[in-house]
Amino acid sequence: MKHARSIVYTSLRWLTLLGALTALSGHADEYADTNQLVRANKFTEALAKVDSYLAGKPADPQMRFLKGVIQRNLGKPAEAINTFTLLTQDYPELPEPYNNLAVLYAGQGQYDKARVTLEMAIRTNPNYATAHENLGDVYVRLASQAYNKALLLDSGNTAIPPKLTLTLDVFKPKLAPKK
């Protein structure tokens, strides 16, 4: 009887494992399919797929993140900001939503908000290189604003224009040398 019972338990364990793996592969397929649509710039279809998925699993952070990315790509920054803000509230340990939220803020010229949000991303993960790079870009934008303001207040200050030029050079496209 002990042997038969062990076969039943072993079979049940294998069936449970198989079911779990099947469910996981189903999720992986949903993510892969949605990412493929995003890569093909089929954002409307991708958003429909995400919304359908989230109807059954509304807390899924990965799919919610993808939704924010799609909203941004569809030119819906307010919706993307809302999506990423909710993600930072529900999953404050994830740095990526903070980073993407900061990029949206910076795109709207809200550099102070972007700075604070990027600092949160870095506090969450001090090794998140993209957030550090984006924070550097935000600091350059803030510096440019400060130099412009200083120049308005004191147009005769000859030290300001070269500094302002340096900040502007950071974002100039670098053209490859002609051969």
Position 35, amino acid: N
Task: Please write the tens of the pLDDT for every residue from 44-57.
Answer: 999 999 999 999 99
- Buried-exposed string 102-120: b where 16+ CB fall within 10 A, e elsewhere: bbbbbeeebbebbbebbeb
pLDDT of residue 11: 39
pLDDT at residue 28, as a whole number: 66
- CATH number, residue 165: 1.25.40.10
Residue 89's domain comprises 32-170
Which H, E and C letters describe 83-145, residue by residue?
A: HHHHHHHHCCCCHHHHHHHHHHHHHCCCHHHHHHHHHHHHHHCCCCHHHHHHHHHHHHHHHHH
Give CA–CA dist 106/140, Å, rounded. Answer: 12
3 pLDDT higher than 60: no
Evaluate whether residue 109 is within a structural domain.
yes
Pair 115, 142: CB distance under 8 Å: yes
Rg (CA), the chain: 24
In a domain, 15, yes or no: no
Q: Reduced to 3 DSSP states, what percent helix, strand and coil does the chain have, rounded to the nearest 5?
A: 80, 0, 20
- The 10s digit of each residue's pLDDT in 86-122 is 999 999 999 999 999 999 999 999 999 999 999 999 9
- Asked whether the beta carbons of 102 and 117 are under 8 A apart, the reply is yes
- 30 or 103, greater pLDDT: 103
Would you say residue 10 has pLDDT above 50? no
Are the beta carbons of 87 and 79 closer than 8 angstroms?
no
CB 72 within 8 A of CB 80: yes
- Our count of domains for the chain comes to 1
- Give pTM, 2 decimals: 0.78
Q: Quick check: is 4 in a domain?
A: no
Question: Does residue 102 lie within any of the structural domains?
Answer: yes
Residue 27 lies inside a defined structural domain of this protein: no
